[in-house]
A and B are shown apart, each in its own frame.
Chain A
Amino acid sequence: MSQKLLLNAKEINIILHRLACQLIEKHNDFSDTVLIGIQPRGKFLANRLAQLLKSDYHIEHVKLGLLDITFFRDDFRRGEKPLEANTTEINFLVEDKNIVFIDDVLYTGRSIRAALTAIQSFGRPNEIELLTLIDRRFSRHLPIQPDYRGRQVDAINEEKVKVNWVEHGGEDAVYLVNS
C-alpha cells in the first residue's frame, strides 16, 4: 500500500479560508442559510468551517446541523458489512432556508443523493448547495456536482482518497492511497 500526500495542513487551511469567503460572497450574514454536515465524515469539515466563519469572519449566527443518511442509502443489504448509523442533529426547521451540504469527499454522488432525500424529512428548503473538500472527477454515478470545491482530484477506482483531521486523531492532511 502506498500513499501520496495531496494536501498538507497549510494547504487545507488556505482552502478552508477560500471556501469560507466563497460562502460569505453568496450567503452574506447567513440569516437564511444553514450548514449541514453529512455524517460521518462531513462533520469535521462542517464544524471547522462554522468555527472559521465565526472566529475570522465575525459571522455571529451560523446554524450548523448534522445529517445521518444511513436509513436513506440505496445499498441496504447489498454490502458485506451492515450499515452503521450516526446521530442526526438538526434542531431547527429547514423550511425556506438555503442549505449547504458539507462533505469531505465527493465520489459517486450516492451519499448526496441519499442526503437530498433525507433532508426532506425536515421541511422544504428554498435551495440546496453542495460543498466538498475533495471532488473526485470522472467517477460520478449520478448527475451531482459541487457548488464549492476545495480541490479537484483525478483518481482511478482502485485508489482511495483519505482525509485526516486533527479532531479525529491525526493531523490535517489529504492522501491518495493506492491499495
Chain B
Amino acid sequence: MSELSVNHLLGIKDLNSQDIQLIFETADHFKEVINRPIKKVPSLRDITIANLFFENSTRTKLSFELAEKRLSADVINFSASQSSVKKGETLIDTVNNILSMKVDMVVMRHPNPGASVFLSQHVNASIINAGDGAHEHPTQALLDSYSIRERFDTVKGKNVVIVGDILHSRVALSNIFALQLQGANVMVCGPRTLLPKYIDKLGVKVETNLKKALQWCDVANMLRVQNERMDMTYFPSTREYTQQYGVNSALLNSLDKEIVIMHPGPINRGVEITSDVADSKQAIILDQVQNGVAIRMAVIYLLASKIKH
C-alpha cells in the first residue's frame, strides 16, 4: 500500500486520483470491519483527535466521532457555542491551547472558507477539513463517490448531476473536483440565481431544466436549500423552488430509465425531494451515511500513519 500524497485533508483539490483510489481501497477494509459483530480495531490507540465544530453539524460530527472510536483513538469534542470563542479567543489560540494537551489530529468545521488551510499553516497537527464555509467538504465528496462506486463498480464515465443550491454549497465544489478526478461527467442544475458565475469554467455542464438534467444523468445528487446561508431571496418562494427543482416520483417515473438519487442530508422533505423518493429503493441516502464512517476511518487511518513519533 502506498501513502497519501498529503499530510492534511484540506480539500479534494489537493488530492490526486491515486490518493482517492487508496482511500477507497482502505475504506473497503474498514467497511468489512464495521459489519463485524465487534466493530472496532485497535490501530490508533496512541492517537488523540480533537473535533472542533465552529458550526452546527449532526451527521458529520457523529460520523467522525464514530470513525475515531472504531479506530480506538482518544477523542475530545469542542463546540464553539459552549466555549471561550464567545469570549473573544482567536482560532489559532484556541487550537494551540487544545494542541498543548498533546493532540495529534484536528477535525475542524468552520464557517469561514479557508479556515482549515490557515490552521494547517500555523499549527503542528494533522488537519482534516470537515467543511469550511462554502469552500470544500472533502470527506462528503469522497463518501458520495464511494457510494457511486459501490452501486456501479466504477465512477469513471458516469453522468452525475448536482441539483440545487450550488452557490452556497461546499459539497457541490468538493464533489465536482472528486468526480472529475475519477473521470465522471458532471452537470450542475439549479435556478440561475443559485449557480455561481463562471461555474462552467470548472468544466461542468450547466442546465436549468431539471427534467432534461435527470434525463441525461445516471446519478442525481440533490443538495439541500441552505436557508441559513442566504442573505437575500434567491427564488420567489419555497413552493416555487419545489415545483421547478424538487424531485418527486411522478417526475422519476416519466424518465425512460432508473436513476440513483443521493442526498448529503439533512433532507428538507417535500422541498428538494419528496418523502416517497427519499424512502424509495432508488435513493442511496442511508448507504451514504454508512459509507461515511468507513471513508472517515480510512482518511483518519491513512493520515495518522504519516504522523511520526
Contacts and interface: CB of A to CB of B under 8 A. Distances in A.
Interface stretch (A17-25, A120-128, A140-148, A156-164): A120-128
A82 B305 contact: yes
A117 to B, nearest CB: 7
Contacts of A78: 309
Interface stretch (A45-53, A55-63, A69-77): A69-77
Interface stretch (B34-42, B116-124, B243-251, B283-291): B34-42
Contact of A121 (B36, B305, B309): B36
Kindly state the interface size class of chain B when it binds its partner.
20 to 34
Contacts of B46: 77
B29 A76 contact: no
Interface residues of A, number: 20
B200 to A, nearest CB: 39
Contact of B37 (A68, A88, A117, A121): A121
A116 interface: no
A85 B37 contact: no
Contacts of A76: 43-44, 305
B37 A77 contact: no
B26 A85 contact: yes
B66 interface: no
Main secondary structure of the interface of A (DSSP, over half): loop
Given A82-B3, A121-B37, A123-B37, A87 B29 contact: yes
Residue in A78, A85, A88, A93 with the greatest tally of chain B CB atoms within 10 Å? A85
Nearest to B308: A77
Residue in A78, A82, A117, A121 with the greatest tally of chain B CB atoms within 10 Å? A82
A71 B309 CA distance: 18
A167 interface: no
Interface string B106-125: 00000000000000000000
A71 B28 CA distance: 13
A82 B2 contact: yes
Interface string A72-115: 10001110001111011000010000000000000000000000
Given A85-B26, A88-B29, A118-B41, 10 more contacts: A68-B29, A71-B43, A77-B308, A77-B309, A78-B309, A85-B1, A88-B32, A121-B37, A122-B37, A122-B38
Interface of B: 1-3, 26, 29, 32-33, 36-44, 46, 71, 301-302, 304-305, 307-309
Interface of A: 68, 70-72, 76-78, 82-85, 87-88, 93, 117-118, 120-123
